[in-house]
């Protein structure tokens, strides 16, 4: 009789373990996708945040594209001249160099064909860099000196 009771708990225990794994994986996936919103003028942009070194090194590598109102925001702990490259990119981008929530520089239509051979840099020290789909700057009339508003999630 005792063996039968142990067997009857096995499916319940297995189910609880499986459920715990699924909940844990969902929690980890949700934590790895760190999205927020920024606003430039009237334009609301959904951004993935690259704050950790590993996320900054990966950047947009391997992605097929960005939606029209999406971007990747790189956040750094201190201001300095930043250097980027287009390693494993598959589409062109616009880049906004940001210091103290103000656009201090920009580069339009940076070609993914540059790949890792060419680098591009900010002209001034910055603490944030926003990568957007190519054509965004022109389409939305973004200008140097414009404020970037960082919204809560």
The 10s digit of each residue's pLDDT in 56-99 is: 777 777 778 888 899 999 999 999 999 888 777 788 899 999 99
Q: How confident is the model at residue 32 (pLDDT cuts 50, 70, 90)?
A: very low
Indicate if 61 and 100 belong to the same structural domain: yes
Neighbours of 122 (CB within 10 A): 22
Q: Please check whether residues 20 and 76 belong to one and the same domain.
A: no
Of residues 95 and 51, more confidence is placed in: 95
Cα–Cα distance for residue pair 140/128, rounded to 1 Å: 20
Q: How many domains does the chain divide into? A: 2
On whether both 57 and 85 belong to a single domain, the answer is yes
Q: Are residues 114 and 77 in the same domain?
A: yes
Q: Do 88 and 47 lie in a common domain?
A: yes
Same domain, 20 and 61: no
Kindly report the pTM of this predicted structure.
Answer: 0.74
- Assess whether 28 and 39 both reside in one domain: no
Core vs surface per residue 92-108: b (16+ CB within 10 A) or e: bbbbbbbbeeebbbbbe
Q: Is 21 or 76 the better-scoring residue by pLDDT? A: 76
User: Which domain does 28 fall in, by range?
Assistant: 1-32
Q: Are residues 21 and 83 in the same domain?
A: no
């Amino acid at each position: 009789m005792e063996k039968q009771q142990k067997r009857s708990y096995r499916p319940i225990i297995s189910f609880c373990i499986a459920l715990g794994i699924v909940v844990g994986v969902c929690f980890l996936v949700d934590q790895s996708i760190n999205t927020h919103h920024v606003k430039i003028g009237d334009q609301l942009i959904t951004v993935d945040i690259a704050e950790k070194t590993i996320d900054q090194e990966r950047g947009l590598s391997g992605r097929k594209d960005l939606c029209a109102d999406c971007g990747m925001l790189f956040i750094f702990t201190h201001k300095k001249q930043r250097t980027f490259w287009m390693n494993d990119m598959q589409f062109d981008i616009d880049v906004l160099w940001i210091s103290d929530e103000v656009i201090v520089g920009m580069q339009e239509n940076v070609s993914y064909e540059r790949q890792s051979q060419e680098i591009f840099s900010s002209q001034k020290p910055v603490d944030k860099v926003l990568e957007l789909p190519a054509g965004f700057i022109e389409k939305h009339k973004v200008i140097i000196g414009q404020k970037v508003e960082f919204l809560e999630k």
